[in-house]
Amino acid sequence: MTKRIGVIAVLLVAVLALGLAGCAQQPSASTAKVLKVGAETTFPPFEFQDEKTKEYTGFDIDLMKAIAKQMGYEMQIQSMGFDALIPALEAGQIDVIASAMTITEERAKKVTFSKPYYKSGLSIVVKSDNNTIKTFKDLEGKRIAVQIGTTGADEAKKIKDAKVREYNSTSEAFLELKAGGVDAVVNDLPVNQYYLAQGGAKDAKAVGEILNAEEYGIAIAKKNKDLADKVNNALEEIKKNGEYDKIHEKWFGKKMQ
């Protein structure tokens, strides 16, 4: 008799446990909405692959994680060439672009930009022993390496007689400078600073004034008005609740106010 009750009790517990497990799993599986984030991931400290863990990391990655979480989404990174990002967004392969993308008039014809989330600008990197290039004007007639599709590329192409070489990644542009194949790299200032701080300063240096204040925005497809509102609201929220400042401090140190 007691044995029977024991067996029934065990069975009951098992059935209950199974039932509960079922309940616990289903809602989370169906509510986990995924936000597909496109980025060109060789752009430290904004988006790059951690050498050890192979995971994507950087300011934009942390920022998007926080924004997605605020929106009730899980984030998934899709890495691709910088010039492939807007076409992928237009084709609906990704939901947003978070790739240190400067808000420009030209791009704003094709995509909706969020409110600006980071102030930036362009700068020049040359070899340490180069004493002839000191300003953007000195780049006339020179060989310049840039990343394809970037504002750095646009700016370099405006320079008189410059021979502009476009690379898929900024790391390739820096390698070309090291190898002596070009005289300068024109690229986003914080990325140049990070490159120099991470060892690049052994044989390269930054010169010249910062060119054109630029602002980064998150890009959303024109037809996706709802999503653009959600992203802006989430961005505002993480600015209010201190999350943005935390991420900024992690990658750039304390904000100067």
Q: What is the contact surface with ligand ARG in residues (CB under 6 A)?
A: 39-40, 43, 46-47, 82, 99-102, 147, 150-151, 188
First-to-final CA distance of the chain: 77
Comparing CB distances to ligand ARG, the nearer of 84 and 100 is 100
Q: Of 33 and 119, which has the nearer Cβ to ligand ARG?
A: 119
Nearest distance from residue 241's CB to ligand ARG, in Å?
Answer: 26
Q: Which of 46, 43, 73, 51 is nearest to 62 (CA)?
A: 46
Which CB sits closer to ligand ARG, 58 or 208?
A: 58
Smallest separation (angstroms) from ligand ARG to the CB of 81: 9
Taken as a whole, the chain contains a residue count of 257
Nearer to ligand ARG, 43 or 251 (CB): 43
Of 26 and 76, which CB lies nearer to ligand ARG in the complex structure? 76
User: Which long-range contacts does 245-251 make (Cβ < 8 Å, 24+ apart)?
Assistant: 247/59, 247/62, 247/63, 247/66, 248/59, 250/59, 250/62, 251/45, 251/58, 251/59, 251/62
Q: Residue 73 or residue 216: which is nearer to ligand ARG going by CB?
A: 216
Instruction: Write phi, then psi, for 41 (nearest 5 degrees).
Output: -100, 40
* Among 82, 51, 77, 45, CA closest to 64: 77
Dihedrals phi, psi of 57, to nearest 5 degrees = -145, 170
Which tokens is 196 given? 């120099």
Per-residue CA distances from 198 to 43, 108, 119, 182 (Å): 13, 33, 21, 21
Q: Is 10 helix (H, G, I), strand (E, B) or coil?
A: helix
Residues 6+ away with beta carbon under 8 Å from 89: 38, 95, 96, 97, 111, 219, 220, 221
Q: Which is nearer to ligand ARG, 112 or 150 (CB)?
A: 150
